[in-house]
Amino acid sequence: MHKVALYGLEGHESIILDAIADRDDAQLVGISTEDQKKFDGLCGNAAVHEETKYYADWREMLAKAQIDVLAVCSENHRHAEPIIAAARRGINVITEKPIAVSRKELDGVRAAVEKSGIGFSVLFDMRTSPAYIAMREAVQNGAIGKPVLIFAQKSYRLGERPDWMKSRAQFGGTIPYVACHMLDLAMWITGLDVKRVAAFHGNASHPEIREMEDHAVLSFEMTLGAAMSLTLDYLRPAAAPTHGDARLRIAGSGGVIEVKDLESRVELITADKPARNVPVGEGYNLFSDFLDSLDSKKEHTIKLREVFRVTEILLAALDAADTGRIVEV
């Protein structure tokens, strides 16, 4: 039985709760959040039961509860410390992104995780989307030849943002927070890595969010002569049909593949065949996949080196945007 504890209700905790509710071998033993109203709001959730205890302080939860997996879904600046503390106790960890808001924090997390040998992952849940699974399979099978140029987009409605997101020290920047998904997908699908990055970011139209950027553009020099452009924004109109609009297009030496129609369809066009849809299968839950890997039932979809590499690159991209320099990674 996996005894799972959840720290924070500020991210994609639904991924954790859904997996626990769907499994017979996982139990939610504790939830830590400073706002007990958020804990009370989970009343009736299938993953929460009468033995799930509330803790105002995550340190008390780690000390008193019997835990073998900690899920960290707190504010960004509160990720690193509980990860390190759990690693030192031999507790497996899955965390919300970004892993850390500074290179010093990232180095601390990496050292603690590698020393302890725990299972460790990050909620790059877009890997479990059927469209991106299908895209990866097609690219890995040579459908577009050599990947050459990648374009990716993440666009969101701004909506109401909590105060911690409006502080650079607490939020850590829009680039590490938002760009992680599309960069991870691009590297995972193509097998390419990043050599250098240039970036620009700012807050051009939303003074109410203070230090939080409402847009960013990243340009990556990739391995094997490839390149990638990634745009991020919180400019999606409130009247848009969905909260987010994610796009990924990969042009190769032998064709072009693109996720279209709000991630519901994958289109492939090659020199010998006109545009057609790539068959799309089923997705799965990332946390459930992580638990299976802890049981040695399968290899986790995200490798440990990939967890750290994406964060490392995006902290370099943040530095590039702040300084106006091209940064090698």
Specify the pLDDT at position 11.
85
Averaged pLDDT for residues 96-103: 97
Averaged pLDDT for residues 195-220: 98
Could you tell me the two tokens for 17? Answer: 């709760």
- Short-list 58, 325, 116, 146, CA closest to 30: 58
pLDDT at 43 over 90: no
Averaged pLDDT for residues 80-94: 98
Q: What is the assigned CATH class of domain 2-122?
A: alpha beta
Residue 265 confidence class, pLDDT cut points 50, 70, 90: very high
Q: Percentage of the chain with pLDDT > 90?
A: 95
Q: CATH classification of 125-283+302-328, choosing from 3.10.129.10, 3.30.360.10, 3.40.30.10, 3.30.60.50? A: 3.30.360.10
For tokens 């943040």, what's the residue?
Answer: 318
CATH 3.40.50.720 spans which residues of the chain? Answer: 2-122
> Mean pLDDT in the chain?
97
Specify the pLDDT at position 70.
98
pLDDT at 58 over 90: yes
pLDDT at 45 over 90: yes
Specify the pLDDT at position 236.
98
CATH 3.30.360.10 spans which residues of the chain? Answer: 125-283+302-328
Specify the pLDDT at position 69.
98
Averaged pLDDT for residues 52-70: 97
Averaged pLDDT for residues 239-262: 96
